[in-house]
Chains A and B, each alone.
Chain A
Amino acid sequence: MLESLLAIGGLVLLRDSVEWEGRSLLKALVKKSALSGEQVHVLGCEVSEEEFREGFESDVNSRLIYHDLFRDPLNWSKTGEAHPGGPLGALRAMCRTDSCSITIAVDSLSWLLLHLPCTELCQTLHVLSHGNSYPGVNPPVGQVRVLGLLHEELHGQGPLGALSSLAQTEVTMDGKMGQASVHILYRRPQQRPAYQTQWFSILPDFNLDLQEGPLESQQQPSSHVPLVDPTTHLTFNLHLSKKEREAKDNLTLPFQFSSEKQQALLRPGPGQSSSHIFYEPDVYDDLDQEDPDEDLDI
């Protein structure tokens, strides 16, 4: 996996988070570059030189040039040791070497983004990774690869998007259940972007151990309980027999006005006692002999 990450060149953006840190992967990439004969420059802003070199063997350490921006980045001690061009000047100066190809590891781009304007940083990274010449600066002789560590939570969408668009390879740290993984986006020139997800763990000597994925042994085996039909032993009836269904269908509902009901109401049956209404008209009553229901179709 490390070879494919280092193959394209340009800017390799390593995005990490608090839970899944990316510095170990950065160090693994640095070790791989150093062992393949390249000169590796490290712009260290976040950890001390001892801490960064920790875990590397001597042949890696001998190829590593550490530019210390950790001890006194803002020149508070006023010793005047800082690079005149600031961190970006230091980055540009790294390219003016005679060696064929160099790797620059920036630890971290987040520190630079918090202290420098995003536009300047993006311009410098573009120049570094594409090898264009700055006015007044000799163009770099060979391929320059920049490995940049970026802490995702510290920046808004704007700077993240700007850096992401500059990167030829984008690696996002992730993980599940104690197992780390990376999601890699390759932007090879004149090809479609390619995605890859890889589970891995980093050994103490910063070699990579590729893995399959988190062990699924945490899942419970499905319980083999025989399914019970709850309708078997009921004290009441849930289904209707055929006879009962027929009787139900034939039943007229009390408030449904069917033709049988209409006839039954109009002609009182033989057993029914007919009811009479006795009305004594009042003096002021206006009795109309016409039937008010004459127009009804009954």
Chain B
Amino acid sequence: MCPRHVPIFTHPGRSGSELGMFPELNNLLNTSPDRAEQGKLTLLCDSKTDGSFLVHHFLSFYLKANCKVCFVALLQSFSHYNTVGQKLGVNLTTARERGQLVFLEGLKSSVDIFFHPQEEPHPLRFLREANAGSLQPLYEFVREALKPVDSEDTTWRFPVLLVDDLSVLLSLGLGAVAVLDFTHYCRATVCSELQGNMVALVHDSEDAEDEENELLLNGLSHQSHLILHAEGLATGFCKDVHGQLKILWRKSTGRRDRSLIYQYKIQDKNVSFFAKGMSPAVL
């Protein structure tokens, strides 16, 4: 008896992980992958807590929105982002293979620059330079990655640059003005010229003595259209409320609701948001 091949239909159900990203955050920002605004710079910052959940959110958001994403990942390895991305419903390996995702793995390529000969200028060449002056090679890398290519089969919606994170560049010896120049050029190319979006994370050390970081954070805040600031609670660690998110819309005159504050709790595959003091744990 020959085995019958039964075709298995996978029903494209809308389970939680299918949606990807954090739907509640989309509601707060009044956006969704199919109607995302273009030409915007979003600044993510965190103080006294870890704001990387915002990075994972935007990575999966823009991949779901069918955008071409250039991810300058300086903080974690590719497999880390891939693991978290899978919980949010995106597969970074697949995205990279089909050309949707250009991934600069800072941890790996910074080692390459010391041990392997480089023919062409390496994006992180500043690591080898005694007086690290500019991030122009990194900017050239981003521009190459996101420039529209006619030969590609699939056309992506718009380009997105994601950086995790910019404070690492300060720790690696660059000045705040050099990093601001890099973001300026990226903004000019990605947001203005290509009408894409840019998302960058900066840590807010709240340390008044770290002048370079303050300058970077404030300088970038002035250039941003949207600022998401994740803060730990002033009262310390709490099991049910992990932190507070301040949302500030800038550069929009005549808009009444310019800022919102919500508290949040990070779960395994989702982040739930609620108004201050309205956590389900305390009601």
Known contacts A50-B192, A70-B188, A154-B215: does B136 contact A202 (CB below 8 Å)? Answer: no
Residue A203, interface by CB 8 Å: yes
| CB of B253 closer than 8 Å to a CB of A | yes
Q: Which residues of A contact B227 (CB under 8 A)?
A: 18
Contact status A18-B177, CB under 8 Å: no
Residues in A4-40 with C-beta less than 8 Å from chain B: 18-19, 21, 23-24
Q: How many residues of A contact B (CB 8 A)?
A: 26
Check B16 for interface membership: any CB of A closer than 8 A: no
Q: Taking the complex as formed, is B222 at the interface, i.e. its CB lies under 8 A from any CB of chain A?
A: yes
Residues of chain B within 8 A of A154, CB atoms compared: 215, 218-219, 222
Interface-lining segment among A71-79, A166-174, A212-220 = A71-79
Would you list which residues of chain B between 168 and 222 have a CB under 8 Å from chain A?
177, 180-181, 184-185, 188, 192-193, 214-215, 218-219, 221-222
Q: Is the pair B188, A18 in contact by a Cβ cutoff of 8 Å?
A: no
What would 7 A/B residue contacts be, using CB atoms closer than 8 Å? A50-B192, A71-B193, A73-B184, A76-B136, A114-B219, A115-B177, A151-B222
| B 119-134 binary contact with A (CB < 8 Å = 1; else 0) | 0000000000000001
Residue A81 at the chain B interface, CB threshold 8 Å: no
Q: A70-B188, A76-B136, A76-B139 are in contact. Are A18 and B254 (CB under 8 A)?
A: no
Contacts from A to B (Cβ < 8 Å): 18-19, 21, 23-24, 46, 48, 50-51, 70-74, 76, 110, 114-115, 151, 153-154, 178, 201-204
Q: Which of B177, B180, B185, B223: most chain A Cβ within 10 A?
A: B185
Complex: how many Å from CA A51 to CA B181? 19
When the two chains form their complex, are residues A76 and B222 in contact, meaning their CB atoms are under 8 A apart?
A: no
Range, interface on chain B = 20 to 34
CA gap between A178 and B257 in the complex, in Å? 8
Partner of A202, one of B181, B222, B253: B253
Distance (Å) between the CB of A14 and the closest chain B CB?
Answer: 13
Measured between beta carbons, the chain B residues less than 8 angstroms from A48 are 188, 192
Contact B218–A151 (Cβ < 8 Å): yes
Contact B222 A18 (CB under 8 A): yes
CB-CB nearest in chain B for A46:
B223
Q: Whole-angstrom distance between the alpha carbons of A46 and B225 in the complex? A: 13
Which residues of A have CB within 8 Å of B136?
Answer: 76
- A-B interface, 10 closest residue pairs, ranked by CB to CB distance from nearest: A153-B218, A18-B221, A48-B192, A24-B253, A151-B222, A202-B253, A76-B136, A114-B177, A71-B188, A204-B254
Bound complex: CA A156 to CA B192 (Å): 30
